Amino acid sequence: MGKTVIVTGSARGIGRAAAMAFAENGYGVLVNYLHSRDQAEALAGSLRDKGAAALACRADVRDRAQVKRMVETCLSAFGGIDVLINNAGIARQALFTDISEAEWDAMMDVHVKGTFHCSQCVLGHMLEKKAGNIINVSSVWGMTGASCEVHYSTAKAAVIGFTKALAKEVGPSRIRVNCIAPGIIQTEMNGFLTKDETRALIEQTPLQRFGTAGEVARCMLFLASDAADFITGQVLSPNGGFVI
């Protein structure tokens, strides 16, 4: 069997585009979801119809037991895990003074604890075979910070620090760990933006448009490929020049 990828939060948006791109390039794909069962099952079915090996699996990345079951399901179905994409995420806008402790914890749990659980649970398999790729999804706001998104920016910055540290630790075992920090991408997650906000962000982007989920997925494919075999601990930011 060919290579296998787990993409967390892959029923929609960037995760969905990643699942499709990896399937088109011969990977078996585990489509992870939490709430979007119908969309995840439809995506997995569509990938199978196109000749790919695909399976939808519900797991809350915040829950260690559920993540372990997801990893075991992937190993049982596909026989291995070559790539993990930690994509599951949430986004909220709020003044810092209005963020509740529960909202803060929720942001950290999904982005930071989720990345911790998923990475640690797949690493046993990757360390045993001394090969593997982990790709974490951060954001330009994790690089620069964003007003009214302090909790989101903090969580995404933590993902970058996690990436750099883990890359050093597992590099001797030939496991690469990298990070994607997308700019403004046209997805449902950014659907809250007003027309004025959208226009302002486009004006601040030298390429004068938002990115697409497919463009981010192609960056992930590159980082998982042999072409990136000497790249680890890095942050690749497809952002149209928004941050340079």
Please say if the pLDDT value at position 169 is more than 80.
yes
Q: Residue 190: inside a domain, yes or no?
A: yes
pLDDT band at 194 (very low <50, low <70, confident <90, very high): confident
Given its phi and psi angles, is residue 211 left (phi above 0), alpha (psi -120 to 50 degrees) or beta? beta
Please say if the pLDDT value at position 30 is more than 70.
yes
Average pLDDT over the chain reads 96
Least trusted range by pLDDT, from 3-17, 49-63, 198-212:
198-212
* Active-site option among 33, 152, 162, 210: 152
Q: Residue 121: inside a domain, yes or no?
A: yes
pLDDT of res. 153: 98
Q: Residue 243: inside a domain, yes or no?
A: no
Please say if the pLDDT value at position 191 is more than 80.
no
Where are the alpha helices (H) located in 30-149, listed in sequence order? 37-49, 64-78, 101-108, 114-129, 140-144
Mean pLDDT, range 23-36, rounded to an integer: 97
Please say if the pLDDT value at position 64 is more than 70.
yes
Q: Residue 45: inside a domain, yes or no?
A: yes
Mean pLDDT, range 191-198, rounded to an integer: 80
Q: Beta-carbon neighbour count of residue 138 at 10 Å? A: 28
Q: Which domain does 15 fall in, by range?
A: 4-236
Residues 6+ apart with CB under 8 A from 54: 19, 23, 28, 29, 30, 31, 43, 44, 45, 47, 48
Mean pLDDT, range 8-37, rounded to an integer: 97
**What percent of the chain has a predicted confidence (pLDDT) above 70?**
98
pLDDT of res. 186: 85
Please say if the pLDDT value at position 38 is more than 80.
yes
152 is catalytic: yes
Tokens 């519900």 belong to 58
Please say if the pLDDT value at position 1 is more than 70.
no
Least trusted range by pLDDT, from 98-102, 120-124, 125-129, 185-189:
185-189
Task: For the full predicted model, state whether its pTM sits above 0.75.
Answer: yes
Please say if the pLDDT value at position 129 is more than 80.
yes
Mean pLDDT, range 208-221, rounded to an integer: 96
* Count of domains forming the chain: 1
Q: Residue 216: inside a domain, yes or no?
A: yes
Q: Residue 244: inside a domain, yes or no?
A: no
Q: Residue 128: inside a domain, yes or no?
A: yes
The domain that holds 105 is classified in CATH as 3.40.50.720
